[in-house]
Amino acid sequence: MNTEKSHAKELDQQDELNSFRKEFYLGNDTIYFDGNSLGLLSRRAEQSVLSLMASWKEHAIDGWTEGTHPWYYVSEKLGKLSAPLIGAEADEVIVTGSTTTNLHQLAATFFNPEGKRTKILADELNFPSDIYAIKSQLELKGLDPDEHLVQVKSKNGNTLETTDIVAAMTEDIALIILPSVLYRSGQLLDIQTLTKEAHQRGIMIGFDLCHSIGSIPHHLSEWGVDFAFWCTYKHLNGGPGSVGGLYVNRRHFGKRPGLAGWFSSAKDKQFDMEHTLSPADTAGAYQIGTPHVLSIAPLIGSLEMFQEAGIDRIRDKSIRLTGYLMDLIKSELSSYGFTIANPEDETTRGGHVFLIHPEAARICKALKAAGVVPDFRNPNGIRLAPVALYNTFEEVWEMVSRLKEIMDEKTYKNYANKRGVIA
């Protein structure tokens, strides 16, 4: 491969998305490769926050129905903007809650243990919060998680095999909840096949899209996925703690929400103030509380950019960025003890590269001191996420160059090999 810096610059000149880089606030001489944990602030997101603040200032309570973005309908508006990213119809998506509260809502709605089917199938590599929520839902049904939570094992500690997941779809499984992309290794699961296999066995299945939405196109409605949920502060650049989202396949419309709340109501009935809920006949039924207007605001500007860029073009550049990064690692860092632990096949690779190294914690600290922002995952993992909308091929080249210098000069030994409070 061509390892010259000039080649990286040529790739950037050919980049169809390079105009979006100027939309973001970038640190001076800082290479930000942690967008799979928290995306950068864009100027459009900033302006949409200011816009909703201005509507509060100008309209006060009438902001619910007046202004450029009436608050009463903003969750549905953003659901419509989000739908193309996951291959759904507008009314199948709502921007609401958080990853975990949305998982609680969907599990409370779709986990109905009866007869032999009393178990939930998950995996042992999932993000802990999902497992905490699933265990809570089992306990609320009076079921022992040690008995009723089945977790698919990984053969190598980093990835899952489709055949192993399918083999675990036994007759006692009532519900399956899996990540679309594993948060550590970046493995992209075969959502279409897993959904087909689950439905052939009469099992409902849902996916956590936190590490894929905004990075990878999906076709959830076409594939028949029952439900999905996600955060919006990673690839969607919605800001820290920004409002999450959920998807419910339209064939389930009319199913009463397991956790009902005022905003579960049909819009035209909500202010009748009846004590009998009339749920919305859309994904809006699975909202619970009042929209967090100021936390939802950045998504207005951010999702407009995704609409312009197109998720297919974003995915194409992401694949090329991560592929280029892996090629450079193999070429320049093969003798330094790094192992590429994410799938190298682009059909099963998400939007980040996962390196394993025994000195990972201190290497991450040394990278940060050298102006590169990576992400450490306990005990020995380094996640590197070159994001299509704002990272460049030249930054990938420069990051590898700085990492090679760190390893040559052993500057990582200046740091303790343990994580900080936030890793």
Domain of 206, CATH number, reads 3.40.640.10
Strands 339-340 and 119-123, bridge-based pairing = unpaired
The pLDDT assigned to 41 comes to 98
Query: Is residue 421 in a domain?
Result: no
* Binding residue positions: 99-100, 127-130, 208, 211, 233, 262, 290
Q: What are 361-412's pLDDT values in tens digits?
A: 999 999 999 999 999 999 999 999 999 999 999 999 999 999 999 999 999 9
The pLDDT assigned to 253 comes to 98
The pLDDT assigned to 27 comes to 84
Statement to judge: residues 196 and 284 lie in one domain: yes
The pLDDT assigned to 28 comes to 83
Instruction: Look at residues 309, 336, 361 and tell me which one is the last residue of a structural domain.
Output: 309
Q: What are 253-303's pLDDT values in tens digits?
A: 999 999 999 999 999 999 999 999 999 999 999 999 999 999 999 999 999
Statement to judge: residues 121 and 134 lie in one domain: yes
Decide if 382 contacts 360 (C-beta within 8 A).
Answer: yes
**Separation CA 57–CA 364 (nearest Å):** 43
Query: Is residue 38 in a domain?
Result: no
The pLDDT assigned to 423 comes to 67
Q: Which residues contact 410 (CB under 8 A, 6 or more apart)?
A: none
* Binding residue positions for pyridoxal 5'-phosphate: 99-100, 127-130, 208, 211, 233, 262, 290
**Enclosing domain of residue 151:** 47-309
Strands 381-384 and 375-377, bridge-based pairing = antiparallel
Query: Is residue 423 in a domain?
Result: no
Q: What are 174-213's pLDDT values in tens digits?
A: 999 999 999 999 999 999 999 999 999 999 999 999 999 9
The pLDDT assigned to 1 comes to 80
Decide if 38 contacts 340 (C-beta within 8 A).
Answer: no
Query: Is residue 269 in a domain?
Result: yes
Mutual orientation of helices 293-309 and 43-59 as an angle, nearest 10°?
Answer: 140
Q: Which residues contact 205 (CB under 8 A, 6 or more apart)?
A: 175, 176, 177, 178, 194, 195, 198, 199, 225, 226
